[in-house]
Amino acid sequence: MICLRRFPLVAIVLLLLSCHRGCAQNGVTIPIETRENALVIQMDKDNHPGIIYFGKKLSKASDYALISSQSRQRDGNAGIYNSAYTPAGSWNVSEPALQITHSDGNPSLDLIYVSHKAVKENDNTTLTSIQLKDPVYAVQVTLHYRTFAQENVVEQWSEIKSAEKGQITLQKYASANLYFVAKDFYLTHYNGTWAREMNPEEEHLTAGIRVLDSKLGTRANLFQPPSFMVSFDKPATETEGKVMLGTLAWSGNFRMDFEVDSYHNLRLIAGINNYASEYPLSSNQEFKTPSFIYTFSENGKGEASRNLHNWARKYRILDGEGSRLTLLNNWEATYFDFNEEKLSGLFKDGKKLGVDLFLLDDGWFANKYPRNNDGAGLGDWQENVKKLPHGIGYLVKEAKNAGIKFGIWVEPEMVNPKSELYEKHPDWVIKQPQRPEHYMRNQLPLDLSNPEVQTFVYGILDKLFTENPEIAYIKWDCNAITFNAYSAYLEKSKQKQSQLYVDYVKGLYKVLEKLRAKYPKVPMMLCSGGGGRVDYEALKYFTEFWPSDNTDPLERIFMQWEYSYFYPAITHSAHVTDWGKQPLKFRTDVAMMGKLGYDIVVSHLNEKDLKFSQQAVATYNSIKDVVWQGDLYRLVDPKQNDFASLMFSTKNKDRAILFSYLTGNRNGAGSDIPFRLQGLNPAKQYKVKELNLYPETRTAIKEDQTYSGEFLMTAGFNPAVSARRTSVIIEIVAVD
């Protein structure tokens, strides 16, 4: 202990050294609060915005001004680590959020506070905007933070504007720059590839920068999605610990820098990947970055993901609080081999099964180079006259006659070199003019930075809908990443090649925007040969996504578990198929925890399987509201146990559906002991009932027993999962 009286000078020096840069003269303090949490930005003595707090909200906002006085971390030599938007090329030498080259070639930038405002947009959302400017050059940045109070979600983006006479170049232009103080940080991120999506890895972050990124262009998430979790102090569990869930709403290349600085605090910079993406900005033009969306909870991952689900259903996903269609897809039933007669039979099968819609997949189009396999035809969106001599209109009618709706597959952003489109418009294709073409699934992306291509892509869908207004569903596929990134259009229009990755995505959004202006409600599945593409910008236009081509139910349990941290079950297209070795009941029970569909040959089902499936569709219809709109609780993690268990509970806690699946098979694996349920009312009494039993089997559950919510959530419940009962669905209903 230092005696201040005896060593006044030492004490003063120590005090000065012991505070974070700027704490001696606290400037404007801006709390950005949700119901539970706060992000607090404070200006330092030079008016640089710094993040002084991230975490649980304080009840007295004036207390935030005291926060920096509690830090004994001194100025860094690397500039201001806690910058709310780190500029490059001047006093700061740590990883930047914004790096630009001015019109005179000068690469320096500083950003100081000008003003801020908070506008209450409605009862729940507030938009706080902080304006910053470079004191030397005419560049201005506005940081936007939209808070969704009840859901504890923040949507953050920035707008960069230059009033310089000439063009400036954006070298790096992040959406968000955040700063966290904790003892330790644990990052969970995901990796994978086709049919092996969403493998989580959790790592203790150590000094230096950990980068998560994608350079794949179209289908950007194939190896890694733009979603992650960071636990503070120690790894969070479902019910305990401080955790942040973050995701970038951008369907293209992304980059997230996680930098543990020399104080062992964490800097996060998230946005579009600046790789090969220098972006020009003309005078008085504005560049709006995509949104970075995040939530924080002090009560573990479960609460954090429910925050995101509540937000996403209410504010983001197209028709997120609405309904969805169950469907029968013909992809795995027929692949490319079908004709009108076969399809008419499948419509009837769909009706027999009880689903709402029949979805015609790939292979219905192209004539000069018929789409009979994946090597030809993409781009030629005219019905193949051999397979469908009477056109799509006839199929829509036939489906209607069979009592089922009709939906259709498209992959409008792509082209096979073997196609009339490619022959007519080679300059519409992304490829390097002097290099050999490089394909993924024999195809190439069209250049959506080109307005003509945007019109073409829009036209494919518009024609389908105009000619067949009763088309009730679209599956929008995208099966190739971007190799040889080069745009003939950008070259011709004297723009920069380095705009391509960004302008592609902007072009895609333009098409989707226009489409939704005319066809606001038609459900659309975002598919990318599996989970190559889901994000919260795309989900403004899509009602659901295809998590993976891998529909082996065992794999889907793990994948959907991980997707469920970020996206609610209403968006998880989950089909019963013939993948895997599990019995039909298991496959169906797994698909029922998402948005149920089928991709099987119904006529191949034996009598019992058919009866079971018909009952399953009916059962699903009776529980789908709870799955789609209820609160999700992940109870038993299959990564750490021999089985998985999760439940959905209605907001008023009067009904819940519990799904359990055996995932291991050693030593009599199963649920020997009860586990705690969640999301019930401790004071209410509940009855349990097993659903979706296979014909002629009996439940192992005592259904005449009543349990209190307290009992189920404290002593627990055992759904009796075992090798004889590998999947179990239980309905829990409040009585009286």
Short-list 571, 570, 565, 500, CA closest to 533: 571
Active-site hit among 380, 477, 535, 552? 477
Nearest residue to ligand DGJ by CB is 362
Selected range binding ligand DGJ among 96-104, 340-348, 525-533, 691-699, rule: CB under 6 A? 525-533
Q: Candidates 413, 447, 477, 562: give the one binding ligand DGJ (CB under 6 A).
A: 477
Distance CA 531, CA 192 (A): 9
- Which CB, 187 or 343, lies closer to ligand DGJ? 343
Distance CA 449, CA 452 (A): 9
Distance CA 130, CA 73 (A): 26
Dihedral sign (CA 592, 594, 597, 603): negative
- Which CB, 187 or 538, lies closer to ligand DGJ? 538
- Which CB, 331 or 565, lies closer to ligand DGJ? 331
# binding residues, ligand DGJ (CB under 6 A): 11
Q: Is 477 marked as binding a ligand?
A: yes
**Residue bearing tokens 């219809």:** 621
Any catalytic annotation for residue 549?
A: yes
Dihedral sign (CA 701, 706, 709, 712): negative
Of residues 4-23, which lie at the interface with ligand DGJ (CB under 6 A)? Answer: none
692 sits near ligand DGJ (criterion: CB under 6 A)? no
Ordered DSSP codes for 157-218: EEEEEE--SS-EEEEEEEEEEEEE--S-EEEEEEE--TT---EEEEEE--SEEEEEE---ST
Write down the least CB distance from residue 333 to ligand DGJ, Å: 12
Contact yes or no for 402/351 (Cβ under 8 A): yes
Distance CA 469, CA 360 (A): 16
Q: Candidates 64, 145, 190, 409: give the one binding ligand DGJ (CB under 6 A).
A: 409
Q: Is 478 marked as binding a ligand?
A: yes
- Which CB, 214 or 479, lies closer to ligand DGJ? 479
Short-list 455, 630, 465, 597, CA closest to 525: 597
Of residues 303-342, which lie at the interface with ligand DGJ (CB under 6 A)? Answer: 331
- Which CB, 51 or 527, lies closer to ligand DGJ? 527
Name the 3-class secondary structure at 669: coil
**Residue bearing tokens 């000094």:** 207
Q: Candidates 226, 529, 547, 553: give the one binding ligand DGJ (CB under 6 A).
A: 529
Selected range binding ligand DGJ among 152-160, 277-285, 391-399, 523-531, rule: CB under 6 A? 523-531
- Which CB, 42 or 551, lies closer to ligand DGJ? 551
Spatial CB neighbours of 697, under 8 Å, sequence gap ≥ 6: none
Note the helical H segments in 548-606: 553-563, 584-591
Q: Candidates 36, 155, 303, 361: give the one binding ligand DGJ (CB under 6 A).
A: 361
* CA separation, residue 576 to residues 534, 551, 602 (Å): 21, 7, 11
Distance CA 44, CA 92 (A): 14
Q: Candidates 362, 552, 555, 690: give the one binding ligand DGJ (CB under 6 A).
A: 362
Write down the least CB distance from residue 43 to ligand DGJ, Å: 50
Spatial CB neighbours of 441, under 8 Å, sequence gap ≥ 6: 374, 479, 480, 529
Catalytic residue positions, numbered: 477, 549
Instruction: Cite the annotated binding site by residue number.
Output: 194, 361-362, 441, 475-479, 527, 549
Using CB under 6 A, list all residues that contact ligand DGJ: 331, 361-362, 409, 477, 479, 527, 529-530, 546, 549
Residue stretches of the annotated binding site for substrate: 194, 361-362, 441, 475-479, 527, 549
